[in-house]
Structure 1
Amino acid sequence: MKWIFLFCFLTANLLFSQKIIWKEGLKLNWSNFKSNINNQRGTNVVAYTNCGWVYSVVRSTNPKSPVKVKIETIFNEYQSWKDAKKINDYVLGHEQKHFDIAEVFARKLRKKVQEKIKTSGDFNKNFQNLYNKILSDYRRFQVSYDTDTNNGINEEKQAEYDVKIAEELDNLKSYKAS
């Protein structure tokens, strides 16, 4: 009976999963873009990636107790859209980089958390400010990425960002999710 429940739970979780967690080497494919709505409202938009982070915290009411913060980079399938008539592998690469950028900034957040948050008191006092600062930097970088690459149309700039993002992931590799 326990195995049947576990099988049903895992099957339901797989079938109705709405998030993909970033992992080294994991590449998005067009079937991951499941939204039927172009929330960017532009006729020139080929695809839209909705990604970011989620975090969970295990802490105590005692401010001196150790705290554990888990941060995961996610891709939201049912909030990511594509125009099936315009998609190609090059555009998919551009969209993958949005997901990779989210991981870069998740690693920056993990680094700051590791450096500055040791206890529940530290979390209560510092986490929201750290989170807001990294989130602001992340949003600015995503906008710069699309602006500078002209949403991937400028292949030279896209190639520069591809290298920059790969270097950032490598520089922050010790802050990969565990």
Structure 2
Amino acid sequence: MIRIFLIAACMLMLHKDEATIPWSETYKLSWDDFQGPPKQDSDAVATTASGITFSYSIKKTSKRIVSFKTQISAHFYPEKSWYKPNHADNHILAHEQFHFNITELHARKFRQRVSELPVTQSLSTVLDHIHQEINTELSALQEKYDAETNFSRNFEQQALWQKYIEGELAKLAKFKSNK
């Protein structure tokens, strides 16, 4: 019996020396976590840099894939996240936290889709395709969130979005990040 292990690191794993904060149910972002230099030429008061890291290993026997494992994590990047102290408040911080929560939601969706995959000989291609789909969906939802909340300025929409994201996270609770 021959065993071959392949590890593919996708997106942001190239930045393994970069400081990150993994998403956790119990950890809430604070302004101290936003360590990047503020972009003075931007109308934004703050920016959350977050993303999903993804890796997998495939076990082969006699050139056939027999099993696989994945690791999917939602991370916040302090050095790429920034805020303007003179304009920031707790309402904006909550808006930024929900950008991070949206990232975690998509990490959960990713784990759910992977959990439903059968072992096939095209597994690498399928995993890479799901990864691309998730990143596209994540980006689209982040943009929609900002558009509909007017970057946190529409308080009513902000409250509706927070309730929606909390509900979606609860639906996928069995796929949450484990710190």
| TM-score, normalised by the number of residues in structure 2 | 0.83
Tell me the residue number matched to 1:19. Answer: 20
Tell me the residue number matched to 1:30. Answer: 31
Deviations 1:43-75 (A, max 9, x none): x21100000111122223544221100100000
Secondary structure of 1:66's match?
Answer: strand
1:60 matched to 2:85:
no
- 8 Å CA contact retained: 2:104, 2:177: no
Secondary structure of 1:116's match?
Answer: coil
1:142 matched to 2:142:
yes
Check 1:47–1:106 CA distance in 2 against 1; reply closer, same or farther (3 A cut): same
- 8 Å CA contact retained: 1:63, 1:122: no
Counterpart amino acid of 2:113?
A: K
Q: CA shift at 1:132, angstroms?
A: 1.1
Counterpart amino acid of 1:74?
A: H
Q: CA shift at 1:122, angstroms?
A: 4.6
State the identity as a percent.
30
Tell me the residue number matched to 1:91. Answer: 92
Higher helix fraction (1 or 2): 1
Deviations 1:150-178 (A, max 9, x none): 00000000000000000000001011134
Secondary structure of 1:125's match?
Answer: helix
Check 1:105–1:41 CA distance in 2 against 1; reply closer, same or farther (3 A cut): farther
Higher strand fraction (1 or 2): 2
State which drifts further: 57-66 or 162-171. Answer: 57-66
- 8 Å CA contact retained: 1:48, 1:80: yes
Counterpart amino acid of 2:23?
A: W
Secondary structure of 1:64's match?
Answer: strand
Secondary structure of 2:103's match?
Answer: helix
Aligned residues: 160
Moved over 4 A (4+): none
Q: CA shift at 1:137, angstroms?
A: 1.0
- 8 Å CA contact retained: 1:145, 1:161: yes
Check 1:31–1:172 CA distance in 2 against 1; reply closer, same or farther (3 A cut): same
- 8 Å CA contact retained: 1:56, 1:69: yes
Tell me the residue number matched to 2:6. Answer: none
Secondary structure of 1:59's match?
Answer: strand
- 8 Å CA contact retained: 2:46, 2:84: yes
Counterpart amino acid of 2:56?
A: V
* Rounded Cα–Cα distance in structure 1 between residues aligned with 2:122 and 2:114: 9
Tell me the residue number matched to 1:11. Answer: none
* Rounded Cα–Cα distance in structure 2 between residues aligned with 1:63 and 1:164: 43
Q: CA shift at 1:117, angstroms?
A: 5.0
1:1-178 equivalences under 5 Å are 18-38=19-39, 41-42=41-42, 44-61=43-60, 62-116=63-117, 118=119, 121-178=121-178
Q: CA shift at 1:17, angstroms?
A: 6.4
Q: CA shift at 1:146, angstroms?
A: 0.2
* Rounded Cα–Cα distance in structure 1 between residues aligned with 2:18 and 2:129: 31
RMSD: 1.8
List runs of 5+ in structure 2 lacking aligned partners.
Answer: 1-16
